[in-house]
Structure 1
Amino acid sequence: MGHAIPPLSDLTSSRQGPDMTDLNAILAPGMFVRHPDYPDWGTGQVQSSIAGKITVNFPDQGKVVIDGTRIALLVVFDP
């Protein structure tokens, strides 16, 4: 499971600013996603999406909380 989890600030720094709305509003538990900045994490499964914070369980990274107002996760329709 190789890589250390970067701080939440690193996971949110490369996209939109803090005033953006939830870019992942369509996400629901059970859906599959990829992180656009960390493709080596693999396809993760959404565990929860509450107030713009999306918890995703990635096979190669584990459980990660992502700020949905800054990162637009990539939906995977055929994992």
Structure 2
Amino acid sequence: MMELNALLEPGMLVRHPQQPDWGVGQVQSNIGGRITVNFPEAGKIVIDGARVGLIQVYETG
């Protein structure tokens, strides 16, 4: 999980695999495996990249 999450940069779009109702979030920061994502239905969430593998989204709509 860490390997893929390490590639996430601010501005990228992601989904949380266990929380699909949060919608598509935008990565705000990725520092030391702690990824801050702004989700439309949940707000800003800090995610431990060692525990959760975020799913990158390439297109919305």
TM-score (norm 1): 0.71
Structure 1 gap segments, 5+ residues each: 1-20
User: Which has a greater percent of strand?
Assistant: 2
Runs of 4 or more, structure 1, over 6 Å off, are: none
Per-residue CA deviation, residues 26-78 of structure 1 (Å, 9 max, x unaligned), is: 10000000000000000000000000000000000000000001100000000
TM-score normalized with structure 2 length: 0.92
Aligned pairs, how many? 59
Task: Pick the aligned partner of 2:42 from 57, 61, 65.
Answer: 61
| Partners of 2:39 and 2:48 in 1: CA distance | 16
Match among 52, 69, 74 for residue 33 of structure 2: 52
Percent of aligned pairs with the same amino acid: 61
Structure 2 unmatched ranges of 5 or more: none
Q: Residue in 1 aligned with 2:9?
A: 28
| Letter aligned with residue 22 of structure 1 | M
